[in-house]
């Protein structure tokens, strides 16, 4: 990876962004909410998160929309709970593109509901930078 790519990753993870508030509800209340609204779908409660709005061209946006997705990704420094135990408590996670974003804290992808807890930030990022993060 080039110096510029590392710089862009660092800016995303540690640079300033627009403050956003996620849910302040208890973990138990959020789990019940997700189970009710998204039955049988895995979920992951996260904190210290970044809502990354991906800068894309019109052609890239058409392709993303064609797959039923939005140019948004979540990064979180701290997994609180993962219903499928894919991630340990305290792990970091990067989502795939969103399929919906509801109530300011329910970030849905094809496979998972990410529940954004506490405060986070919104930032713009290039598609190249998002792709450079590998899980």
pTM for the full predicted model: 0.89
Identify the pLDDT of residue 127. 83
Q: What residues have CB less than 8 Å from 132, skipping those under 6 apart?
A: 1, 5, 8, 9
pLDDT tens sequence across 88-130:
999 999 999 999 999 999 999 999 999 999 999 999 988 888 7
Identify the pLDDT of residue 135. 45
Q: What residues have CB less than 8 Å from 92, skipping those under 6 apart?
A: 75, 76, 77, 78, 79
pLDDT tens sequence across 11-43:
766 677 899 999 999 999 999 999 999 999 999
């Amino acid at each position: 990876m080039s110096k510029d790519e590392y710089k862009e990753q660092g800016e995303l993870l540690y640079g300033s962004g627009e403050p956003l508030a996620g849910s302040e509800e208890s973990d138990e209340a959020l789990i019940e909410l997700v189970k009710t609204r998204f039955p049988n779908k895995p979920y992951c409660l996260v904190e210290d998160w970044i809502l990354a709005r991906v800068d894309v061209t019109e052609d890239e946006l058409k392709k993303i929309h064609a797959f039923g997705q939005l140019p948004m990704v979540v990064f979180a420094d701290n997994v609180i709970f993962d219903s499928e135990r894919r991630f340990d408590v305290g792990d970091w996670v990067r989502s795939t593109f969103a399929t919906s974003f509801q109530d300011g804290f329910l970030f849905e992808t094809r496979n998972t509901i990410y529940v954004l807890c506490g405060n986070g930030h919104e930032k713009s990022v290039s598609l190249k930078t998002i792709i450079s993060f590998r899980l």
